[in-house]
Chain A
Amino acid sequence: MKKTTARKRPAKTSQSDFFILRLYIAGQTPNSMTAIANLKKICEDKLQGKYRIEVVDLLVKPQLAKGDQIIAIPTLVRRLPPPVKKIIGNLSKTESVIVGLDLQPALK
């Protein structure tokens, strides 16, 4: 089960601005559901129109765990833009997520 929630990509956005986020879960556990909800909310707030979320359920596709070196569940992987970053946990600590994904607007 690889859910892909594609968002319309505004023409103006350059490649480096676009976020591809992959969330690894293992079954529909409370932590996983919380993580999905939290991620959607943060993305809507911070990355409107500039992101795509892929949810990978490792109970369905266990072979995908190795590629991204997944140990903890849930794990969010920022696949784009580089560098790859990983955030583990149910993403309830919003500030940590924003820092971890490097979503802070650059200081002017």
Chain B
Amino acid sequence: MPQAKPKPRAARTPLAKSPTGIQGLDELTGGGLPKGRVSLVCGKAGSGKSLLAMEFLVHGALRYGEPGVCMNFEETEEKLTANVASLGFDLRDLTKRKKLLIDYVLIERSQITEAGEYNLDGLFVRLAHAVKTIKAKRVVLDSVQALFAGVGDSAILRSELQRLFRWLDDNNLTAIVTGEAGIDTLTRHGLEEYIADCVIALDHRVTEQISTRRLRIVKYRGTSHGTDEYPFLIDEDGISVVPITSLALTHKALTSRISTGVPALDDSMEGKGFFRGSSVLVTGTAGTGKSSLAANFARSACARGELCLYFTFEESPSQILRNMRSVGLNLEPWVRKGLLQFSAMRPTSTGLEGHLAVIHRLITQVRPSVVVIDPITNLISASGSYDVKSMLVRLVDFLKVQHITSMFTNLTFAGDPQERTAAAVSSLMDTWIVLRDSKPNGRPRRELYVLKSRGMAHSREVRELIVSKRGLDLGAVLSDHTVATHVAGK
């Protein structure tokens, strides 16, 4: 069964939080946005500000019983409704059920002449009326920027905005104000100066033709928060942020064991196999049986009634099923039972961070006890290799905290010292299994040895890996090919 999620530490701070319902963001902020306060979400056009704000309202209405008002200065109710319909948000229904109220504020500068003193009481009246109508607890102002274009007197506007934010605070409304990024400032009109409690910046960068979205918590009064940039993803389920789940190496190491899927391999690891919650790296040149090993590992998990999530970056699920049948492995029953779930992605379909975000989200949704990533080589190709390590650190940490046992396969190339490609990765891994081809006396054979496996006595002998219709097995110890000579030969 999937492992239970470790309980979050009890909040030490009395600061009340209002959950956004956005995966990852609530973890990052220790529970959500400051309750009854105004938060600023800023970023360039298209960085996801409006979506974040809208999700905050929709989740608030659906999950947390907090109706919300969206004062939108940019898009009409119809457009907004259509925009988020693809995410499965039915704003019309929410509006009908009085859980959401959208007020589109149109400012047509060309229509307006200024003749004397004024204030923005009209806006206050509208907002107060909307809040009262549905007893709202959440408010979104998206984006007040438009007011600067519409109201000529920016001195009035600034003091009125301050009054507005104070009004929101006084009425105990949890609010998101969005603001367009300036050139050297967080927002074009310095809105951040008025927001004391929480500022979140969104960014959207393109590196080597691959775009990555990032989120940074610029400030959050009264809460310790990471100041790093966290990758986030916008897809058919909305926003999900990939947090660093463990800022310190504090995860508990489990002592229970889990089969490798190959009995003979279990035997060489104290007869018990991997530690549960550990990470396993399988490296090898093409055709040495990496995927077969991974599939055996997956099957043994399913056979125990555990859930396995299998990420594939090379082959389609049906291709894997077909190929595995040829080595005596019928995975289909487990797929039908829902114990084996595949996720196939092209490595170049998104950036590394995007993949990480997808992996995180799926793992959080499916809650598997075993994860296979086959192969990580392709992920490395999707990015400059310097990112890879930090990404894998995050992923491995995440898996360990959840007590998920993971197997990563990595393709090495003939003649290429595998230590180089695996260098970034291997130090993170608890167990490293090396597969290779060899042709003693002209007869090709596959070989396997366990290069390392932390915390256990394991055989380091090179064994023949026998791949047949009856499945995987290990042959006799190959005394003429010891690890020592192999390492020395490099």
**Residues of A at under 8 Å CB distance from B?**
24, 26-27, 29, 31, 34-35, 38, 58-59, 62-63, 65-66, 69-75, 83-94, 96-97, 99-100
Contact = CB atoms under 8 A, between A and B. Distances in A.
8 contacts: A26-B121, A31-B118, A35-B116, A70-B125, A72-B118, A73-B120, A75-B122, A86-B111
Contacts of A26: 121-122, 124-125
A73 B115 contact: no
Interface string B106-127: 1110011111111111111110
Contacts of B122: 24, 26, 58, 65, 70-73, 75
B111 A84 contact: yes
B105 interface: yes
B113 A62 contact: no
Interface of B is mostly: mixed
A34 B118 CA distance: 11
B321 interface: no
Nearest to B132: A62
B120 A87 contact: no
A27 B124 CA distance: 13
B428 interface: no
Given A24-B122, A63-B129, A71-B120, A88 B114 contact: yes
B111 A31 contact: no
A90 B116 contact: yes
Given A62-B126, A62-B128, A70-B126, A89 B116 contact: yes
A92 B120 contact: no
B115 A72 contact: no
Nearest to B125: A58
Nearest to A88: B118
Contacts of B117: 31, 89-90, 92
A83 B119 CA distance: 24
Given A70-B122, A73-B120, A73-B121, A62 B105 contact: no
B125 A74 contact: no
A100 B115 CA distance: 9
Contact of B121 (A38, A58, A85): A58
Interface centre among B105, B118, B121, B123 (most CB of A within 10 A): B121
B129 A88 contact: no
B433 interface: no
Residue from B105, B116, B124, B147 whose CB has the most chain A CB atoms within 10 Å: B116
Interface of B: 103, 105-108, 111-126, 128-129, 147, 150-151
A29 B124 CA distance: 15
Given A66-B126, A90-B118, A96-B113, 16 more contacts: A31-B118, A58-B121, A71-B105, A71-B150, A72-B121, A72-B123, A73-B122, A75-B118, A83-B111, A85-B111, A86-B112, A86-B113, A92-B117, A94-B115, A96-B114, A100-B115
A88 B121 contact: no
Nearest to A65: B126
Contact of A71 (B113, B115, B129, B151): B151
Contacts of A93: 114-116
A66 B126 CA distance: 7
Contact of B120 (A38, A62, A72): A72
Contacts of A31: 116-119
B219 to A, nearest CB: 29
A87 B116 CA distance: 9
| Most chain A Cβ neighbours within 10 Å, of B106, B118, B129 | B118
Contacts of B125: 26, 58-59, 62, 65, 70, 73
Given A62-B126, A69-B105, A84-B111, A91 B116 contact: yes
A93 B105 CA distance: 26
B163 to A, nearest CB: 13
Contact of B112 (A87, A90, A99): A87
A31 B173 CA distance: 29
A14 to B, nearest CB: 24
Contacts of A62: 125-126, 128-129
A99 B113 CA distance: 9
B115 A88 contact: yes
A83 B121 CA distance: 25
